[in-house]
Structure 1
């Protein structure tokens, strides 16, 4: 599949400070599994988490219980102030009117407050369905999303703006992909395969549920074209947040089966690089690992 938008699809675990991302939630699907992973990861990094929801969403206690999953982490974070829950009316239309500069000011104050309280940053999720409810047309909402870019010049701030696909429609969602640098994948157990000018980029999670899709994507990416001799391939796996051993074995095996002199450059993070080395990647001359520090991803 070739991505025609300007945003890069990433699993939520790959978001870093300073990232401005959107997420399109398909009809009938809830975003809370993704938000739970995002919240837990951010809390573990000592970032403050701010969830901005519509007034008719779940009440705060139910949200905290959902994020907890029985573990108590979210409850503790709420008690210490590391987890904060607000409503869209408070952040976007406190007096019934939307004023972009005021909203940007409110978020700037939230970032400053998180820093003053000793947290390492502020991680936000915001339900953007407040826009149509406040009478904003799609162009004005797009203009607002584009105008908040200066907020992310400060690497203390990370945000996911999420959109219901049924409510906003394909045209608006496509527009949001163009004004957000990143697009969060709406499922934790998913893959996104993109053909780029350099090679194949695979993001997401290579696990039991995506094993067949991942292996087929590898076969397609490493398919010999037009020549029976040595070939060069690039696999960008830097946004692959997990790979099971079976998938790693398949990658090593497919690379090793290529003609002598072929080269498969695998760009990946430290954990994946370590896994591939432990399984014998260095014994395959066709396989070249380019490892990036996790903090730089």
Structure 2
């Protein structure tokens, strides 16, 4: 899922286990932080010592809006280094780390925030040559932290530091996976043979391009069935929506494109004529719990 859809009580890793070589997690962290701040959750960013400075992080998150600056001043946004949180004396102790995070959750609650959202760069583990099996066991052991829905966490494991085999195991330990890119697209075959495309962001790869890619996987030129899941999509330009409707209308008779979306996107598509296209069906879902003040 997209980072913005995480809720208190969720424990996730970033991407299939981390981003690809050369990719930065900060675009995901920025979206996650802005959403959490808008929900009046305290945000704790646990970064690598070699990452950006605190001032650089705040500037990156803020982008001139003033939101991150105010959050840092009020204590709603907290910045720490992973060596400080996990190995303050150069050694890793599971119980100490869990206690430290429990204290952070309690502190956020005492300060009046609705919960605590964290991101944790797990690059501290190779620094102290921690056994990977022990790290897997630790991640599995923190489940009680999420039993009381006051805590949300994204753990980032850089593929360059950990390797694909370990990341596959770490992906199984975490209950949820956050899309490593906010414009990441998953295209797969559904249980009844339909093509399913999941989209997290309307960006350079618009819904029009995603739909074309999905339809290109058809084995015949006959009627097609496609499910386009836009429930993670926070915004769609009218031009993209119009392209989506036009492409659906160009499909052979008997085809069906089912668009799963929230109420706002459903309204945009209907205003542009979606209901007049026989090949297009809207499945509009309410999105409870999303703050009206969230910025996307």
- TM-score for both structures, normalised by structure 2: 0.84
For residues 192 and 256 of structure 1, what CA distance do their matches in structure 2 show?
A: 23
Q: Residue 284 in 1 paired to residue 280 in 2? A: no
For residues 232 and 186 of structure 1, what CA distance do their matches in structure 2 show?
A: 27
For residues 39 and 231 of structure 1, what CA distance do their matches in structure 2 show?
A: 39
- Bigger proportion of residues as strand: 1
**Mapping of 1:28-47 within 5 angstroms?**
28-47=22-41
**Mapping of 1:1-297 within 5 angstroms?**
10-23=1-14, 24-197=18-191, 199=194, 200-210=196-206, 213-220=209-216, 223=218, 228=222, 232-260=225-253, 262-295=255-288
Q: How many residues are aligned here?
A: 285
Cα 1:46–1:211 change in 2 (3 A) is: same
Task: Tell me, yes or no, if the aligned pair for 1:218 and 1:251 is still in contact at 8 Å.
Answer: no
Larger CA deviation: 255-264 vs 30-39: 255-264
After TM superposition, give the deviation of residue 83 of structure 1 in Å.
Answer: 0.5
Structure 1, unpaired ranges of 5+: 1-9
For residues 56 and 258 of structure 1, what CA distance do their matches in structure 2 show?
A: 51
- The CA deviation string for residues 141-200 of structure 1, in whole angstroms up to 9 with x for no partner, is 112112222322332211111111111111122222222233223333443333332540
- TM-score for both structures, normalised by structure 1: 0.84
After TM superposition, give the deviation of residue 79 of structure 1 in Å.
Answer: 1.3
What is the DSSP-based 3-state SS (H/G/I as helix, E as strand, rest coil) of the residue aligned with 1:120?
A: coil
Structure 2, unpaired ranges of 5+: 291-296
Larger CA deviation: 198-207 vs 129-138: 198-207
Cα 1:37–1:227 change in 2 (3 A) is: closer
Task: Tell me, yes or no, if the aligned pair for 1:11 and 1:204 is still in contact at 8 Å.
Answer: yes
Task: Tell me, yes or no, if the aligned pair for 1:11 and 1:241 is still in contact at 8 Å.
Answer: no
